[in-house]
Chains A and B, each alone.
Chain A
């Protein structure tokens, strides 16, 4: 088995371990606020012994769907040793798990609302708005940005030098495919940062400081995650610019060092993320959930799963049947353009293989 495949297998096993932990964490989520709450819905005292029991069980079962689907896909990849697809499987599963979770939470909350405490389902009378502009530069570390830019420039300079040293014998697609992909990923992370920044943050007047802190901490956490991913992509570019010029004899050793470093980063990163998540939960639990007023009548205008509402400034609207993507929003256009660009890039880069 090739060294990269060995590590892919290790990553996959690690991914499963993290997933089991994540599944347990998500399973406990409905009860985090105690037995009077089901997620953010204030429920009747007999909820968990009555109708709520079924809703909770259904939520738990939905959390297991990715595991069930994973078994045949994993078997079809690992048994015939098509391990090159394992990395894609990890990415697709990570996205799928999150989408499944968000959808399941929204569905479970929607099912619980009809049997919630009626007073708690009344929207709050007054809300608070922050007049501080949320700009990307306020959440940006200039030193980190310079370091990232420098890493990208150095990697590209090394690759151009390598290519132009003997352009007759180099396939430019082989030389530049990996950095082009990594650069595109970094652009994608910048786009995600914009989405996180634009994320709606309505705050009730009661406990405004607690709600504001919870939203701000969550926002910072996601923005930091994006920066970490950008840093890893930049590191990937630098590694590629080094590995492409290495002699075949040394290649194996360098790959081992690189993959071992990735493994360490993944383990340490996972532990740090878990710690941060616990801190975020502590902050979020201080703020009592409330229902915000629906000025736009989102439940009526937002069809599931997509809608077109130019007058609504939000990317995601909360419709009667769940979240709805507002196709009239600029971020939706940018996201669609980005995904289309990704498909074109992959197609273009694979053409030269």
Chain B
């Protein structure tokens, strides 16, 4: 299971790490209960500040995607444990759709793009 970090990506590294792990969870490559490497290991491998990876893990924990147990590491949380409201879940979708509309794409084009991406993401998930 690999995570790709791109130096040309405008997103900060912690965001790339969080998004990458989210994607792997969504695709089912990181199954429920799967252990994640300790913050220290990931930070050392990447050669970044410990806080960078800690921030990514914190964000994933706030999103209900991972469970951080002090002393025994972090693991992918159960999907049913997510406590986010419908509004919270819709917010990133709305932001992404706004970007696409502002980019001048038609509704049909956006819909086909969304469906294609959904198929890719949902391929490995339950």
Contacts and interface: CB of A to CB of B under 8 A. Distances in A.
Interface stretch (A102-110, A121-129, A246-254, A275-283): A121-129
A27 interface: no
Secondary structure class of chain B's binding surface, majority of residues: mixed
A65 to B, nearest CB: 31
Interface string B23-53: 0100000100001111111111111111100
A205 B4 contact: yes
Contacts, number: 87
Given A129-B2, A131-B2, A208-B2, A200 B42 contact: no
B112 interface: no
A198 interface: yes
Size range of the interface on A? 20 to 34
A129 B50 contact: no
Given A293-B7, A313-B40, A129 B13 contact: no
B41 A312 contact: no
Contacts of B44: 198, 200, 313-314
Identify the 7 closest CB pairs spanning chains A and B, nearest first. Answer: A313-B43, A313-B44, A131-B1, A129-B3, A126-B6, A133-B37, A295-B48
A135 B3 CA distance: 19
Interface of A: 123-134, 198, 200-202, 205, 208, 292-296, 298, 311-314
Nearest to B30: A131
B21 interface: yes
B87 interface: no
A292 B50 CA distance: 18
B70 to A, nearest CB: 16
Contact of A125 (B2, B6, B24, B39): B6
6 contacts: A128-B3, A129-B4, A129-B17, A131-B2, A133-B35, A313-B49
